[in-house]
Structure 1
Amino acid sequence: MSRRYLWLLLLLWVACFSAYSVPTAVNTSTSRHLALGNPSNAVADPAQPNNYLIEREAYALAYQRDSGIARWVSWHLTLTDFSPAQTDRYSGNFIVDPTISALGWPYATHSDYTNTGYDRGHLTPSGDRLSSDLVQRETFYLANIVPQAPDNNQGPWRLLEEHTRNRVRAGNEAYVIGGTIGSNGTIGNGKIVVPAELWKVVVVLPEGDNDLARITAETEVVAVIMPNINGLSNDYTEYRSSIACIEQRTGLDLLSNVAPEIQAALAGPHCSTNPQKIFLPLVIGQAEGTNESTPTPIPPTPTPTPIPPAVRITYIEYNPPGDDVVGEYVRIVNEGTTPVDLTDWILRDEAGATFVFPFSVVPAGGRVQVWTGSGINTNEHLYWGRNQAVWNNTDQDGDGDRDTAFLIDRNGNVISTYRY
C-alpha cells in the first residue's frame, strides 16, 4: 500500500471522528454583564439544563430547567441604560422566553402567574433598561421573572432598585447580581418554583474604564436577602446581608473575576445562626468592625436632630376634597441660600410608610411636593405611586387621628418633622 494512500485513509478517519464527536462547551463570554465573573460557571450547553447560560443585551443569567426560573441574573448598569429614556415601558403580556422554548424545555407563560397571588417579579428591572425597545422587551422574557410576593416586589425590592439608579445618577456605574433561594411551593402546574427568598448584590463604582481593576477593598457594596412573603417593611436596609452569607446560602462565587484579596475584603461575615439577626452595615466596604453577635439597631421612630435645618416640611394636605390618594401631598421648602440634593432622602409617617426620593435637587428658596398617588415626576412634583392613602385624616372629636411626617437625610439624620 502506497504512503500516499495511507495518508488519505488517515485524513478520512480524522474527518469522520471530528464529524461525530461532541464539542465541549467552553465559557468564553465577553459580555459586560459578566465582567465581575460567572457566579456558577454556567455554560450554554443543553447537557447542563440547571446551569444553562443565556446572554442578552439586557443581562446574563443562569437558567434552571427543573425549577423554571433563573438561579441568578447579572447586569451592568450605566446612566445611558435608562436616562434619558429612549423607549417607553413595554405594556404587553410577559413574553415566553425564546431560548427556553427553542430548547424544547417546559417554559413559563404569562397566564401561569394569573390569580396565583404572586407578582411577575423582574430580576433585571425594566426601569434599568430604557435605551431601546429590544432591551426593554428582554426584561419581560419570563426567564428574567420570578413569582414574587407583592409586598416584596413593590416594597423593599423596588426601593433598592430605585436606590441603585440614584447612585448611578450621582456619577457612578453599578454591577448587580440577583437571584433566588429555596422554595415556597410551585405555580404553573408545578413548572415554576416560588422562591423562599430573593437576594441581591450591588457593586457601585465611580464612572470610568477598566472596571475590574478599579474594585478595591473600599468599594461600595450593598447585599440583601429578603423573604419572599407579604408583610415586609419597605426599608430594604432591614434585610441587609453579606456577600459571604449569600455565597454560603447559594453555593455561588459572586465576584470570581475580582482579585482574591479584594474578594475577601468585600465578602463580610458568613451567615448568622439566627436568620433574623441584622449584623452588617448596608455599605460593606472593608466590612471592618462587623460582628455577627452585635446587631446594628434600627430605631422604630427617629429622633430629630437639634440643628435647625434649611430644608423643612411646611404643609401636609392630609384631607383633600375628593380622593385622598389623588389629592394628598407633603410640601417641602428649601429656606437656605444654596441648593439641596434630596436624592435618597426619606419621607415617612409614624406607621413606617416610606418614600425614597429619586434624583431631586431643590434650589435655594424652592420647594417640592410629594404626592401620595401616581404621576410623572418633575422638578417640583414627585409621586409616591401608592394606591392607599398615607396621612391620617384628623377629626373634630379629639380622639387622636393625627400623624407626624419625618424628613430624613441619606445619613439617617431627621432633618424636619411635621405634626398635625
Structure 2
Amino acid sequence: MNIKVFSKWLIVLAISLPIVSCNQGKGKEKYSSVNETQQSGNSKEIGNTQPNQANEIDQVSDNGERYEIPALREKSGEIILHRRGYTVSYNPKTLIPNWVAWHLSASHTDGPYKRGGIQFHEDDDIPEPRVNTYDYIQSGYDRGHMCPAGDNKWDKEAMEQSFLMTNICPQAHSLNVGSWNSIEQHCRKWANQYGDLYIVCGPILYRQTHKTIGQHKVTVPEAFFKVIMRLGKNPQAVGVIFRNDDSRHEWGDYVNSVDQVERITGYDFFPALPDNIENKIEAKADFDQWPR
C-alpha cells in the first residue's frame, strides 16, 4: 500500500474512531480495575507518576520507571493484570485486551524455554465469561499473541503466561505470520542492539459494530497498533498500524508517529517520560533511526 494512500486511511480512521469503554464486572481478588489499582497506592509501581526532568533532551536512562505502561483511564472498567513478562489492560466487554505492555531487555530476547507443548488457556484471574481456545475453532482467525511467546523464552512462567487468552486477539492469519511476526522479530533485534525497548500493542476498534467469533462472542479488531520506544542517548519512538486482514504489504509502509497512534486509539503512551522527551520523540516517525 502506498504510504500516501495509507495516510488518508488513517485520517478517516482517526475521525471515525469511537473510544470503547466498559463497566467493571464482578470477579476474584486476583485482578483489579484501574480505580482499585490507583486507590491501593500502587500507581508508582505501574508507572503512573512522572520522573524528574532529564538534564538533556538527548539522554534519558532507565531509572526503574515502568515507562511501558500507558496512562490508566479512570472509570473505563479496564482490568489491570500484572504478569511475569507483561502487563495487560483487559476489557471485559470486548473480551480482548485494550493493550498489552512490556519491557523487552536484551537478556529477555532469548532463553531455554520454548513454546512447544504449551496450550492456549483461559485466564482464571478475570470474571466470567472467560474466552477459551474453542472460541477460535473454525473462526477463520488465528489466536494472535499481543506480547509474543518469543519475547518470553527467558522464564518458564513468563512463557506459560503468554498463552493466557487475555493476551490474545483474533488475528488474520496472513497478518499473524507475516507483518506482525516480522516486527516482533525486529523488536528482538533492536533490544539486542540498544539494550532495552518499551513496547505497547493492542487492537483498534473503529466501527460502530464489530464482528465477533465463538460462543462467547469475542470481538474481532479492525486493526492493530504497536508503539516502540528506546531510551539512552538519542531516544526514539515509532508506531505502526496494520489492518486486520489478509492483505500483504511491507510493514514499513505502516509506520506512524506515536502521536498519530495516540490520536487514533485514544491512549496516552509513555506518560512516565519527562514531558520534554515525550513530546519530542512522539511527534516524529523517523524510521531511519531503526536499522533493519
TM-score (norm 2): 0.74
Give the distance between the partners of 1:252 and 1:31, measured in 2 at CA: 16
TM-score relative to the length of structure 1: 0.52
CA distance in 2, matches of 1:229, 1:70: 19
Report if aligned partners of 2:68, 2:102 keep a CA contact under 8 Å in 1: no
> Paired residue for 2:140, among 117, 122, 131?
117
Which residue number corresponds to residue 387 of structure 1? none
147 and 86 in structure 1: CA distance in 2 versus 1, 3 angstrom threshold: same
**Does the CA contact (< 8 Å) of 2:68 and 2:199 recur in 1?**
no
Query: Which segment drifts farther, 66-75 or 88-97?
Result: 88-97
TM-superposed CA distance for 1:268, in Å, is 1.9
* Cross-structure match for 2:101: 74
Q: Relative to total residues, which structure has the larger helix share, 1 or 2? A: 2
Q: Distance in 1 between matches of 2:95 and 2:196?
A: 31
For residue 282 of structure 1, report the CA deviation from its aligned partner. 2.2
1:93 aligns with 2:126: no
Establish whether residue 222 from structure 1 lines up as the match of residue 238 from structure 2: yes
CA contact (8 A) 2:46 2:69 kept: no
**RMSD (Å), alpha carbons:** 2.5
Aligned residues: 237
Q: 1:54 aligns with which of 77, 81, 86?
A: 81
Q: 1:144 aligns with which of 160, 164, 167?
A: 167
Give yes or no for contact 2:200–2:226 (8 Å, CA) kept in 1.
yes
Q: Which residue of 2 aligns with 1:38?
A: 69
Query: Cα deviations across residues 246-269 of structure 1 (Å, max 9, x unaligned)?
Result: 111111110111111211111226
Cα distance in 2, alignment partners of residues 261 and 136 from structure 1: 36
Q: Which amino acid aligns with 1:204?
A: R
Given that 2:238 and 2:282 are in contact with CA atoms closer than 8 Å, whether structure 1 keeps it comes out as no
Query: How far apart are 1:39 and its partner, in Å?
Result: 1.6
What is the letter of the counterpart of residue 245 of structure 2? I
Q: Matched residue of 1:99: which SS?
A: coil
Structure ID, larger Rg: 1
Query: Could you say if the C-alpha distance between residues 171 and 155 of structure 1 is closer, same or farther in structure 2, counting changes exceeding 3 Å?
Result: same
Task: Assess, with a 3 A threshold, how the Cα gap between structure 1 residues 236 and 263 changes in structure 2: closer, same or farther.
Answer: same
Q: Deviations over 1:142-198 (max 9, x none)?
A: 000000011111111110011111112224211111111115411123531111110
Equivalent position to 1:155, from 178, 181, 193:
178
Residue 255 (structure 1) aligned with residue 286 (structure 2): no
CA contact (8 A) 2:149 2:159 kept: yes
Alignment match of 2:157 (pick from 134, 138, 154): 134
1:170 paired to 2:193 = yes
Equivalent residue, structure 1, for 2:228: 202
Q: Indicate the residue corresponding to 1:64 in structure 2.
A: 91
Identity level (%): 27
Note the residue ranges of structure 2 that are not aligned, 5 or more in a row. 1-34, 48-63
Is the contact between residue 220 and residue 283 of structure 1 (CA under 8 Å) also seen in structure 2?
A: no
Instruction: Give the alignment of 1:182-331 within 5 angstroms.
Output: 182=205, 184-205=210-231, 214=232, 218-233=234-249, 235-268=250-283, 280-283=285-288
Match of residue 3 from structure 2:
none
> What secondary structure does 2:253 align onto?
helix
Of residues 119-128 and 24-33 in structure 1, the stretch that sits farther from structure 2 once superposed is 24-33
Shift of 1:105: 2.5
Checking the alignment, whether the CA contact within 8 Å between 1:221 and 1:283 is kept in structure 2 is no
Which gives a bigger RCO, structure 1 or 2 (Cα 8 Å, sep 6+)? 2
The question of 1:106 aligning with 2:121 is answered no
CA deviation profile, 1:47-98 (whole Å, cap 9, x unmatched): x673111111110011100000111110011122232x22121423211112
Comparing 165-174 and 236-245, the one that deviates more? 165-174
SS of 1:200's equivalent in the other structure is strand
- Counterpart Cα distance in 2 of 1:170 and 1:263: 22
For 2:92, the aligned partner's letter is R
The separation in 1 between residues aligned to 2:289 and 2:93, in whole angstroms, is: 34
Check conservation: 2:109, 2:192, Cα contact below 8 A.
no
